A and B are shown apart, each in its own frame.
Chain A
Amino acid sequence: MRVLPETMISLLANNKKGAATSPLKVRTVSEAACTSCHVSHTAGGKKQLVRFEQPERNCVLCHGTEGPGQSVLADFNKVSIHPIYVNADSHTPEENPVNPPLRHVTCVDCHNPHAANQTPGSATTLAGSLVGVTGVSAGGAVLHNVQHEYELCFRCHGDSAARGPATVTRQAVETNTRRQFNPANVSFHPVEAIGKNTVSPSLLRPLTPSSRMACTDCHNSDSGTKAGGSGANGPHGSAYAPLLERMLLLTDATPYNANNFALCFKCHSSTVVDSSQNNSWAYHRQHLEQYRAACTTCHDSHGATQPHLINFNTTYVLPYNGVIRYTSTGLNHGTCTLTCHDGSGQNHAHNAVSY
């Protein structure tokens, strides 16, 4: 049965069944009807009889600028995106989910249009938009129905052989996010489990050291509601690489401005961090303002083999006599052995300097 796009949009917008039982515009494709996306004859996409050959076109019919769904199209024109236009038509439902023949990401790699709903997600509960998709468990097993958001992300950013290189060059190189977030690590952002610190002075309420977080707390659209905008949430695209919800300067030497580290300061108070007081680490202000160091010059956001997510950026931090090491010596105290080529153009040798 042929359904013109106008007819289909009307069908979705006037989905009485959905409207009567739920505040959601469209809950599932079953209510919106198969012919929204599939056609019985002369299907542009042939396999699975989807309407269009270019896979994303089947989705943006509704989720583009003219459809009844929230448009995500503009996000894919931003600087940092999930590249849905690259090798997209190579996707097949039966492909190896971790190592497909061509690395790609199309809409249905992350969304199951037959199962998705609009239930919001949280740090520990899967968003309805991600229900029924394939991922990889924390232990490395393929899951056909992820229960946690990170399991979906691990599919391509964990063990996948063609995963991208590290954004920041570090003393300890690890590009497998599944290993980075392993709770057995010395330190990690609390995605899979509650973090190691029992005290974290900079955390903004209501966050506590027992709080958890999701990948999309950092990797998200910069124009969605979570970023203070009005667009769709989700890691579709952002002006801030690598697909970050807020600005995060990854390089040294720029005069300090808290706005450059807006992503970190979303959860960690800038007034607590950028301070000479001993309420977090007394030398944060010196490093940020005098040495013009970026947060990421010392901290590795995902996980680290040293405490406090310390994994130095080797563009700026080099060994001292062959050693580059941070050792915690108690709350807000530690020692560093390294040579820092700081953002003010000076070299600072640290021989187990104690802070």
Chain B
Amino acid sequence: MKLSASHLVRRFAAHGVGRVAVPVGNAAAGGGRLLRLKLLAGLIALPSLLLPAYGQTPISIINSDHNLSVSSPGTMHASSETEICIFCHTPHSATGDGPLWNHQMSSAAYQPYTSGTLKATVGQPNGSSRLCLSCHDGTVALGMVNSRRNNIAMNTTTMTGVNDLGTDLTADHPISFVYNTALATADGNLKDPSTLPQTVPLDRSSQVQCTSCHDPHNNEYGDFLVMDNTGSALCLDDVGPRAVRAGAAGDDDQSVGQ
């Protein structure tokens, strides 16, 4: 299956018209997450959306760094490959690691985040985060996909630069840990997960994953964040006001640095 760039413009231009968040199960253990379906409804009635200018909209994957095809606006891209979805998804010959997953998975052992004040149990990355790390740990060739006999030729073999997190995740926000009421209580600065907005989703196992902060299909807010982080709104949706409440009596705020 091949999708041309113009197909994707139509597909993602519909984003502004309406979208539904539908929980979709998949074969990966603990890998359930929200897959946003972009409604095509209204496209016919809005032919102006097909104008090239609308293709510049930041909500399109085409104009984001996650377009790894030759038409990518980013620094890392294929030498001649025109398909855009293929780097992550394939309708056939999927790996089974995620939703129609196509990219070769990493076999790296990771050093997870740790600190003396961390109350969560953070182990090896699991669930959908492993899908992200199949490119973002820098150990697997960007063009190594299951549906092709040979790697797709790229202008760089593996992820480089600031987006290459490596396998040492000790300097990165913890992922793949259960975020439940018990954790919020133990930490004291975390909001109860029941109060989190739907824009900050946990996975089916109530775990924080990359997708809790990032939506790989939507770069509307920059850095593929799930919501506008002005004033650190995204961070403060998780980390509640207790952490920043000045001089609260009895606030034994060990996480602050004392």
Contacts and interface: CB of A to CB of B under 8 A. Distances in A.
Interface string B228-252: 0111101110010101111111111
Contacts of A34: 232, 235-236, 239
Interface in B203-218: 213
A43 interface: yes
Contacts of A43: 171-172
Contacts of A42: 162, 165, 171-172
Given A2-B162, A145-B250, A33 B232 contact: yes
A332 to B, nearest CB: 44
A38 to B, nearest CB: 8
B173 A134 contact: no
B244 A131 contact: no
Helix, strand, loop or mixed for chain B's interface?
loop
A115 B256 contact: yes
Given A115-B245, A134-B258, A145-B247, A40 B213 contact: yes
Contact of B257 (A17, A28, A93, A117): A93
Contacts of A41: 162, 165, 171-173
Nearest to B164: A42
A144 interface: yes
A49 B254 contact: no
Interface string A114-148: 11110000000000100111100000000011000
A46 interface: yes
A321 to B, nearest CB: 52
A24 to B, nearest CB: 12
Interface string A137-176: 0000000110000000000000000000000000000000
A48 B255 contact: yes
B244 A29 contact: yes
A256 B233 CA distance: 62
* Interface class of chain A by DSSP: loop
Interface string A23-65: 0000111110111001011111111110000000000000000
A113 interface: yes
A108 interface: yes
Contact of A94 (B171, B223, B254): B254
A117 B244 CA distance: 11
Contact of A48 (B225, B232, B257): B257
Contact of B172 (A40, A93, A112, A133): A40
A112 B257 contact: yes
A20 interface: no
B256 A44 contact: no
B116 A49 contact: no
Nearest to B250: A145
Contacts of A97: 258
Contact of B232 (A35, A49, A93): A35
Interface of B: 113-117, 162, 165, 170-173, 213, 222-223, 225, 229-232, 234-236, 239, 241, 243-258
7 contacts: A1-B223, A1-B225, A40-B172, A43-B172, A46-B170, A144-B252, A145-B249
